[in-house]
Structure 1
Amino acid sequence: MTRAVPAVTRALDILELFLTGEALSAPDICGRSGLPRTTVHELLHTLLDRDFLATAPERPNHYRLGVRVFQLGGVFAGQLDLARDGQPIAAAVAARCAETVHLAVLDGVEVVYVVRIESTQPVRMVSSVGRRLPAHCTAVGKVLLAELAPAELDLRYRRRKLTAMTPRSITTLAALKKETARIREAELATEFCESNEAVACVAAPVRDHQGETVAAMSISVPITRWNAARSTELAAIVRDGARQLSGRLGFAIKGT
């Protein structure tokens, strides 16, 4: 198990003291956290500099949560709305194709599944909400990585090995960049046995009111039910589902 970083743990301990909504002074924080005065002042300076804390104008020498915490909370709330709004649309997509439908978001270099609607077929893939997978091995992940600027993609994979989940997984950054460039142009990703040797997937981007890609929707199919005609059919269905969810999130499609 990876060891926790003490400085980060202490900073988070300080932030959690503000969950009561109370403005706190440095002595308050020292007393409640048990941390040395010098450590508290160093961490306060860093948290203030990064806008995770702010001075409380109504109380001199006291602090309150800063705007960055609000922004992070807004992102989290947006993800909750995404799951809530995505559930019925994903269910409708699953009803159309009788296959497993997922909605996933990107977290670093992993995807996190926030919605899953299971196939009604006797043979189906096994998955779960909250599951994480390497983004480069999945159709949803490749859709989301395709939206990153090349410099951001380089940064996220700096000093990271692209681990294979199957013999078909992408294992080099050069190959990933080539694949994401193709996906960016097509606005569609496919995956054939890259994360599971028995499963193929097709995925499309979901955009919000600002036009930002916030999630990806996929349809997963056992390879026994996968062929060129089925791939084309499912691509149209997942694109339509992703378009509907984007509209629900406020994305205005050009020409409409």
Structure 2
Amino acid sequence: MGRLVPAVTRAFDILELFLQGDGTLSAPEITRRLHLPRTTTHELVTTLAARNYLMPVPDQPGRYRLGVRTYQLGSRYAEELDLAAEGRQVAQEVAETCGETVHVALLEDMDVIYIAKVDSTHAVRMVSAAGRRLPAHCTAVGKMLLATLPEAELEARLDGRELTAMTPNSLTDPDALRAALAEIRILGVAVEQRESNPDVSCVAAPVRDRGGRVVAALSVSVPVHRWNEERENELTALAVRGARDLSARLGFRAPR
């Protein structure tokens, strides 16, 4: 890696300060928070404002907020995002941490479609595959995504639908599924206990886009002989962290 340019680093430090609080700062506040010389702060703020990365706050003399150029850069970045590619990269990182199978999936009607899968380092027979479609109510990713639907939309999708079983543990009763989804909404994660594969359990967490909308779910799957309460807690934390990482890559900022 080449040498970092101090002036550029300080300019980015200034811009990143505006991600905190109410998004407005004065030069003295920037000086104090970054421990910079006043002259240096003044020169950097003047330069950033001249290039439209910062702009004065109307009716608040001496205060600045992020300028239109930062919005243009962020919008261009969002346009170039590829959920499948970003999902594969995050899934790979999570799988390398735990050695288990990791999925990223989307919801379509009452099915999930897997857009990324990274296999376990152990030999595991899975029913899932990238590009494959499975009943959402039988999977952790599917139940996670169903739980985020507005109630009216969920009921419309369930109306007249037969919930088929993939294993004896699959939820086939609509009321039992509704109860499970209500619990998932409270917990913020979904668990599958041998509902799509008699030999596998799974935990999933939601992935959000920059507008906060749930667009996918990330899961970690493990054979039942390696599944216990301690392992479930570990994998739940990994799934949540992976889903948050993928959400951040898609531009989501969690409320402070």
Q: TM-score, normalising length from structure 2?
A: 0.67
AA matched with 1:147: T
> 1:123, CA displacement in angstroms?
3.8
Structure 2 matches for 1:57-206, cutoff 5 A? 81-125=82-126, 127-206=128-207
> 1:176, CA displacement in angstroms?
1.1
| Structure 1: unaligned runs, 5 residues or longer | 1-76
- Taking only the aligned residue pairs, the percentage that are identical comes to 55
Cα RMSD (Å): 1.7
| Structure 2: unaligned runs, 5 residues or longer | 1-77
Q: Is the 8 A contact 1:105 1:114 kept in 2?
A: yes
Q: Is the 8 A contact 2:127 2:197 kept in 1?
A: no
Please name the residue that 2:72 is paired with.
none
Distance in 2, matches of 1:238 and 1:183, equals: 14
> 1:125, CA displacement in angstroms?
2.9
Q: Is the 8 A contact 1:99 1:124 kept in 2?
A: no
Structure 2 matches for 1:29-68, cutoff 5 A? none
> 1:81, CA displacement in angstroms?
1.1
The residue matched to 1:220 in structure 2 has which SS? strand
> 1:240, CA displacement in angstroms?
0.2
> 1:254, CA displacement in angstroms?
1.3
Q: TM-score, normalising length from structure 1?
A: 0.67
Alpha-carbon deviations, 1:26-79, whole Å to 9, x = none?
Answer: xxxxxxxxxxxxxxxxxxxxxxxxxxxxxxxxxxxxxxxxxxxxxxxxxxx98x
Distance in 2, matches of 1:228 and 1:158, equals: 35
Distance in 2, matches of 1:100 and 1:116, equals: 7
Q: Is the 8 A contact 1:206 1:213 kept in 2?
A: yes
Alpha-carbon deviations, 1:57-111, whole Å to 9, x = none?
Answer: xxxxxxxxxxxxxxxxxxxx98x81101111111000000000000000000000
> 1:172, CA displacement in angstroms?
1.5
Which has the higher mean CA deviation after the structures are superposed, 210-219 or 118-127? 118-127
AA matched with 1:152: E
Q: Is the 8 A contact 1:125 1:222 kept in 2?
A: no
1:223 is aligned to 2:224: yes
What number of residue pairs does the alignment pair up?
Answer: 179
Distance in 2, matches of 1:122 and 1:142, equals: 26
Flag as ranges the 4+ runs of structure 1 deviating above 6 A: none
The residue matched to 2:82 in structure 1 has which SS? helix
Distance in 1, matches of 2:126 and 2:222, equals: 7
Distance in 2, matches of 1:140 and 1:151, equals: 20
The residue matched to 1:218 in structure 2 has which SS? strand
Alpha-carbon deviations, 1:102-141, whole Å to 9, x = none?
Answer: 0000000000000000111134535311111100000000
AA matched with 2:194: C
